[in-house]
Amino acid sequence: MSDDLTPAEPPVTFAERDGGNGRQIGIVRLSRPRRMNALNVEMCERMLEQLGLWASDESIACVMLEGDGDRAFCSGGDVVAAVRDIRAGGARRHAYADRLFTAEYRLVETIFDYPKPVVSWAHGITMGAGLGLAVAASHRVVSPDVRMAMPESRIGLFPDVGATWFLGRAPGSAGPLIALAGLVLNAADAMFAGLADWVIPAERRESVRQALSSTELTGEPAADRSLVARVLGASETLSGSLDTLGTSEVARRLDSVRAIGHAGDVHDLRAALAREAGRDPWFDAALASFDLGSPTSLHVAFEHFRRGRGRSLHETLAADLQLARAFVRRHDFPEGVRAALIDKDRRPAWAPPTLDDVPHSAVAAYFGG
């Protein structure tokens, strides 16, 4: 079967590689490197279709998910296309955005529930929807150059793709800080936060594929998960990645992070973040990023974390879809994308403009209250 991984149209490519015991490895490559592999509807729907076929194919024992190019695994969803339709107006102006978010969340859920091992290999920029895809996999590899973040508030959105579920499980109640401040995590931070399992340089991807191809995969999911983990662990050890990884910057400041994460509301969180920034310049960037976000997005994100305690990932994704549909129909999302990604003037006119101006009733409306 074909093992041609040369980047080409369409924007996501699929290959099947022979493995041991007559099994095969399915390889999914995001192939929009000039757009940092941002997900569009076509990519999501093609992946959903192919993953469905592979799930039923007894010859496929394992799937690998990777991104083309040096810059990014996936920078997020292609929200520019969604906002262009919204700004164009018309009765169907929200159709593409609704379809995009629905497909993204279905894809995260499909990867999370997949009946066979899924290896995600995140490198470079891994943000928004890209982070959701990477974290949903059963076997999560990051390269030393990875930069993970959920900077959604800066485009008038909220931490979606299940982020309040997986970040809600981070040590030291770090999730709200990571999400609301769009904190950028390096490989050590990702390991500490529970977003990754192995650190392996991107240049070792081919050797890992070869090792998997020579592994006697069984077609029995539990056994194959153990075999895949063994291959990844050996490659991590061989690369010496952990020897040079260093300590997570978030872990070093766990007491401060915990104090911020235990804030009672978004105003308290901002005050706690400012207090810590006054003691430790490392928090300055987080505070500046927080202050660039949509006040409405920040309020909704905090409330989403609060309401999400105890939810499953599936329940979280269902709530995400309700929120996403609400956001695309209000002011700040198209305005934030315009300012950040279309006109690029970096001057969004948020409405309301400050945290104090956002009424409780407006926040409740996003949740159907």
What single letter denotes the amino acid at residue 110?
T
Q: What are phi and psi of 185, to 5 degrees?
A: -100, 135
Structural domains counted in the chain:
1
Query: Could you give the CA distance from residue 250 to residue 27 in angstroms, rounded to a whole number?
Result: 33
Average pLDDT over residues 27-35: 97
Residue 2 confidence (pLDDT): 36
The verdict on whether omega for the bond into residue 10 sits within 30 degrees of 0, i.e. cis, is yes
**Roughly what angle, to the nearest 10 degrees, separates helices 129-136 and 95-112?**
20
Question: Would you say 199 and 187 are in contact if contact means Cβ atoms under 8 Å apart?
Answer: yes
Domain limits for position 231? 12-366
In 3D, which of 291, 300, 315, 301 has the Cα closest to residue 359?
A: 300
- Give the mean model confidence (pLDDT) for residues 4-30: 85
Q: In angstroms, rounded to a whole number, what is the distance separating the alpha carbons of residues 195 and 211?
A: 24
204-215: average pLDDT:
95
- The arithmetic mean of pLDDT across residues 282-298, rounded, is 97
pLDDT over 90 percentage in the chain: 95
Asked if the structure places residue 4 within a domain, the reply is no
Q: What is the pLDDT of residue 306?
A: 96
pLDDT at position 19:
87
Instruction: Tell me how far apart the alpha carbons of residues 120 and 169 are, in angstroms, rounded to a whole number.
Output: 19
Report percent pLDDT > 70 for the chain. Answer: 97
Residue 76, number of CB atoms within 10 A of its CB: 27
Q: What is the CATH number of the domain that holds 232?
A: 3.90.226.10
Distance CA 360, CA 365 (A): 9
Which residue from 213, 226, 227, 222 is spatially nearest to 23, judged by alpha carbons?
213
What average pLDDT does the chain have? 95
Residue 23 lies in a domain: yes
Which residues are registered as beta bridge partners of 140? 120
Tens digits of per-residue pLDDT, 327-361? 999 999 999 999 999 999 999 999 999 999 999 99
pLDDT computed for residue 7 by the predictor: 44
User: Where do runs of H (alpha helix) occur along the chain?
Assistant: 41-56, 79-88, 95-112, 129-136, 163-166, 175-180, 187-192, 205-213, 221-239, 249-252, 254-261, 266-279, 284-292, 295-308, 313-328, 332-337, 360-366
Q: Do 68 and 130 touch, CB atoms closer than 8 A?
A: no
What is the C-alpha radius of gyration for the chain, rounded to an integer number of angstroms?
20
pLDDT greater than 90 at residue 3: no
pLDDT, tens digit (0-9, with 9 covering 90-100), for 45-73: 999 999 999 999 999 999 999 999 999 99
pLDDT digits (tens, 9 = 90+) for 231-286: 999 999 999 998 889 999 999 999 999 999 999 999 999 999 999 999 999 999 99
pTM: 0.95
179 within 8 A of 159, measured Cβ to Cβ: yes
Residue 2 placed within a domain: no
What is the pLDDT, as a whole number, of residue 1?
34
What pLDDT, on a 0 to 100 scale, did the predictor assign at position 171?
96
Average pLDDT over residues 288-296: 98
**Residue 1: inside a domain:** no
Mean pLDDT score, 96-104: 98
Q: What is the pLDDT of residue 20?
A: 84
Rounded average pLDDT over 150-175: 97
Tell me what the mean pLDDT of segment 147-157 comes to: 98
Residue type, 140: R
5 falls within a domain: no
> What is the maximum alpha-carbon separation in the chain?
63
